C-alpha cells in the first residue's frame, strides 16, 4: 500500500453555450499547495464521461479551460497525497455567464494505516490464563476488532485468534479458556491484535511457559477425605486450606489442586480425573488430571457432598449429609437417581464393592456410613436397601465405665473395603477401626487404632482407605497428616 492515496473529488456541472469563444471555465486552487494540481475536464455524452482536456495550475494556483462547446461537463482536480475540496459548488449557466470561475481547496492529509500495538500482557492462575495488549494508535482508521492470538511453534503468531469484544484504544485483556488444555511447561507464543479497514496490526510477540496447575504452594493442615488414583496416588481433601493434596504411592507430596470451595468429598477415576465435593459451593467439580476444570455437577441440588465414589461405569455417587440422601450422576453429569430408602440420617461415607454372586457374575453393592443411625446400610446399585448392621455403642452395665463397642458405633465416620472383601469401619469418637464381615457385620479380625499423637495413633481421624498393596491409610486431622496405620494381607 502507498503511504499516500490518490483521492479524486469530482464535480458535476451543467454548461450551455451559444458562443464557443466565450465559453470558458477558470478558477484557482488554494490551500496547502497551489502549483502543479491536475485539473481534468470530462464531457458527458450518452451517459458516459470522456476526458476532454487536462491542465495543471500555475504558481498562483490558476487554471482555465476555454472554447467549450455546449454540453455537460465533469470538472475535477487531483493531487497525490492531498484532499481536493470543491469550493462554491453550483450549476453554471454559460449562456447567462459565459466565463465562470470555479475554485478548489487543497488540504494535505495523513494516509490511514493498520493499528499500532504494544505491551503484551499475560496472567496465569490454576484455573485461568489471561492475555492482552495495548492499542497505542488506531492508524488513522477506527478499530472494529481487537483480541489475541497464540501458538506453540513460535513467531509469527496469527493462529488461535479470539476477539476480546471491545474496540477502544488503550489496554485490554481477556481470558483464553483454550489455553487450559495446553500441558504444563509448554512454551506459548502470543500477541495482541487490532483490525481496521486498512488491515490487522500486531503487538510484539511475547512468550511464557504454562504453569504447573498442580504446583504445591501450601501445607496440609486438616486432612478430611481420601481417594486413590492410578498408580496408588493418594488424593487428600483439606477444607481449611481449600485444596486437594496429591501424594505418590510412598506418600511423598507431589501436587496440589488449589483455590477450591471448602472441599471435602473426593474421588478419582482410572484416567486420573478428579471429582471434588465442595461443601462451600454445594456442588461437585470435575477436573482433569492436570487440574483443568472440566465441568460442575449437581449445582443447585447437592448441598453437603461429604464423600464420593464411582462404580465400574463411572457413575458418580455423592453422599449428601445435609440432604440425607445419595445422589447418583451419569458420566455426562446428568442425574441418574437418588437413593434415600431406609431413612438415611447424615450419610457421611460411601463405598462401592463388587463380589461374585455365585454364578460367576460380579455384582456391585453400595455401602453407606449412616452416621446418625449408627449403621452401615447396604444397597444394590439401583438404590434398593439390601441389609444393614451396626447400632449404637452401649455401656456394659448401668454403672459400668466400659463400653460395649464391638460391631457397634459411637460416631461412624468412614468405611472402606480391603482386598479380602472385609469392611473396615472407622469410629471417630472411639478412635478405632473395626474389621467386619461385609454381609453380617460380624467381627472378622481384631480392631486397630488408639487415641494419641504418636505415629500410628489417632486424633480426629476422618477417613481411611486401603491401597493396592494392603496399606491402610488414615486422614489424621488433628495430627495434620496422612499416614499408614495398618497393613492387611493381599491375596
What value does the mean pLDDT take over residues 2-26? 42
- Please give the Cα distance from 113 to 460 (Å, whole number): 69
% residues pLDDT > 70 (the chain): 88
pLDDT band at 15 (very low <50, low <70, confident <90, very high): very low
**Rounded (to 5) percent helix, strand, coil in the chain:** 5, 50, 45
- Please give the Cα distance from 8 to 2 (Å, whole number): 16
- Please give the Cα distance from 191 to 78 (Å, whole number): 40
What value does the mean pLDDT take over residues 117-146? 91
115, 33, 146, 20: which is closest to 79 by C-alpha? 33
DSSP secondary structure of 230-278: GGG-EEEEETTTTEEEEE-TT--EEEEE-S-SSEEEEEE-TT--EEEEE
pLDDT band at 208 (very low <50, low <70, confident <90, very high): very high
pLDDT band at 107 (very low <50, low <70, confident <90, very high): low
Nine-digit cell string for 76: 475535477
On average, the pLDDT of the chain sits at 87
pLDDT at 241 over 70: yes
Nine-digit cell string for 363: 455384582
pLDDT band at 292 (very low <50, low <70, confident <90, very high): confident
CA 119 centroid distance within chain: 23
pLDDT for 35-66, tens place per residue? Answer: 888 888 887 777 677 788 899 989 888 888 88
- Please give the Cα distance from 208 to 471 (Å, whole number): 42
Identify the pLDDT of residue 401. Answer: 67
Identify the pLDDT of residue 395. Answer: 66
Residue of 347 and 213 predicted with greater confidence: 347
pLDDT band at 481 (very low <50, low <70, confident <90, very high): very high
Element of type H or E holding 447: strand 443-448
pLDDT at 103 over 80: no
pLDDT at 76 over 90: no
DSSP secondary structure of 159-198: SS-EE-S---SEEEEEE-GGGGGSPTT-EEEEEEEEEETT
- Please give the Cα distance from 223 to 477 (Å, whole number): 5
DSSP secondary structure of 103-120: EEEEEE-PPP---EEEEE
pLDDT at 11 over 50: no
Identify the pLDDT of residue 47. Answer: 64
pLDDT for 420-439, tens place per residue? Answer: 999 999 999 999 999 999 99
Q: CA neighbours within 13 Å on the CB side: how many for 302?
A: 33
Do 459 and 452 contact (CB within 8 A), yes or no?
A: yes
* Residue length of the chain: 491
- Please give the Cα distance from 168 to 134 (Å, whole number): 10
pLDDT at 109 over 80: no
Nine-digit cell string for 85: 475540496
% residues pLDDT > 90 (the chain): 65
Which residue carries 457421611 as its cell? 348
pLDDT band at 118 (very low <50, low <70, confident <90, very high): very high
Structural domains present in the chain: 9-108 (2.60.40.1140), 116-209 (2.60.40.10), 226-487 (2.120.10.30)
pTM > 0.85: yes or no: no
Dihedral sign, CA of 249, 214, 352, 368? positive
Identify the pLDDT of residue 85. Answer: 66
Q: What angle do CA 72, 78, 81 make, to 5 degrees?
A: 160
Do 284 and 333 contact (CB within 8 A), yes or no?
A: no
pLDDT band at 111 (very low <50, low <70, confident <90, very high): low
pLDDT band at 466 (very low <50, low <70, confident <90, very high): very high
- Please give the Cα distance from 11 to 86 (Å, whole number): 7
Amino acid at each position: 500500500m502507498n503511504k499516500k492515496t490518490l483521492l479524486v473529488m469530482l464535480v458535476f456541472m451543467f454548461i450551455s453555450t451559444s458562443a464557443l469563444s466565450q465559453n470558458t471555465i477558470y478558477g484557482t486552487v488554494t490551500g496547502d499547495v497551489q502549483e502543479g494540481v491536475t485539473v481534468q475536464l470530462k464531457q458527458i455524452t450518452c451517459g458516459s464521461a470522456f476526458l476532454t482536456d487536462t491542465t495543471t495550475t500555475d504558481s498562483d494556483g490558476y487554471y482555465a479551460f476555454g472554447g467549450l462547446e455546449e454540453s455537460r461537463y465533469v470538472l475535477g482536480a487531483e493531487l497525490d497525497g492531498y484532499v481536493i475540496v470543491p469550493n462554491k459548488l453550483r450549476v453554471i449557466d454559460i449562456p447567462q455567464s459565459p466565463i465562470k470561475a470555479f475554485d478548489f481547496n487543497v488540504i494535505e492529509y495523513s494516509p490511514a494505516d493498520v493499528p499500532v500495538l504494544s505491551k503484551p500482557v499475560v496472567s496465569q492462575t490454576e484455573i485461568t490464563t489471561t492475555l492482552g495488549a495495548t492499542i497505542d494508535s488506531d492508524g488513522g482508521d477506527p478499530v472494529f476488532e481487537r483480541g489475541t492470538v497464540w501458538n506453540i511453534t513460535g513467531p509469527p503468531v496469527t493462529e488461535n485468534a479470539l476477539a476480546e469484544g471491545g474496540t477502544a484504544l488503550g489496554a485490554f485483556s481477556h481470558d483464553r479458556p483454550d489455553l487450559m488444555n495446553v500441558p504444563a511447561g509448554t512454551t506459548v507464543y502470543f500477541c495482541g491484535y487490532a483490525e481496521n479497514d486498512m488491515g490487522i496490526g500486531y503487538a510484539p510477540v511475547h512468550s511464557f511457559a504454562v504453569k504447573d496447575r498442580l504446583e504445591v504452594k501450601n501445607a496440609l493442615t486438616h486432612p478430611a477425605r481420601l481417594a486413590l488414583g492410578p498408580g496408588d496416588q493418594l488424593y487428600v481433601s483439606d477444607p481449611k486450606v481449600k485444596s486437594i493434596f496429591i501424594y505418590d504411592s510412598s506418600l511423598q507430596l507431589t501436587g496440589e489442586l488449589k483455590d477450591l470451595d471448602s472441599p471435602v468429598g473426593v474421588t478419582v477415576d482410572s484416567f486420573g480425573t478428579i471429582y471434588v465435593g465442595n461443601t462451600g459451593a454445594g456442588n461437585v467439580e470435575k477436573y482433569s488430571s492436570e487440574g483443568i476444570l472440566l465441568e460442575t455437577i449437581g449445582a443447585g441440588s447437592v448441598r453437603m457432598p461429604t464423600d464420593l465414589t464411582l462404580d465400574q461405569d463411572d457413575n458418580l455417587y455423592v453422599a449428601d449429609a445435609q440432604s440425607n440422601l445419595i445422589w447418583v450422576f451419569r458420566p455426562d453429569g446428568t442425574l441418574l437417581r437418588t437413593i434415600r430408602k431406609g431413612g438415611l440420617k447424615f450419610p457421611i461415607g460411601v463405598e462401592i464393592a463388587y463380589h461374585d454372586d455365585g454364578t460367576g457374575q460380579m455384582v456391585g453393592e453400595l455401602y453407606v456410613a449412616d452416621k446418625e443411625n449408627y449403621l452401615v446400610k447396604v444397597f444394590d446399585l439401583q438404590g434398593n436397601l439390601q441389609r444393614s448392621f451396626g447400632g449404637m455403642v452401649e455401656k456394659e452395665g448401668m454403672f459400668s465405665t466400659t463400653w460395649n463397642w464391638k460391631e457397634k458405633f459411637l460416631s461412624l465416620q468412614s468405611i472402606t473395603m480391603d482386598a479380602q472383601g472385609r469392611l473396615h469401619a472407622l469410629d471417630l469418637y472411639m478412635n478405632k477401626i473395626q474389621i467386619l464381615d461385609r454381609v453380617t457385620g460380624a467381627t472378622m479380625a481384631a480392631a486397630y487404632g488408639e487415641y494419641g499423637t504418636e505415629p500410628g495413633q489417632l486424633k480426629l481421624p476422618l477417613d481411611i482407605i486401603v491401597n493396592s498393596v494392603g496399606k491402610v491409610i488414615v486422614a489424621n486431622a488433628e495430627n495434620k497428616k496422612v499416614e499408614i496405620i495398618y497393613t492387611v494381607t493381599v491375596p
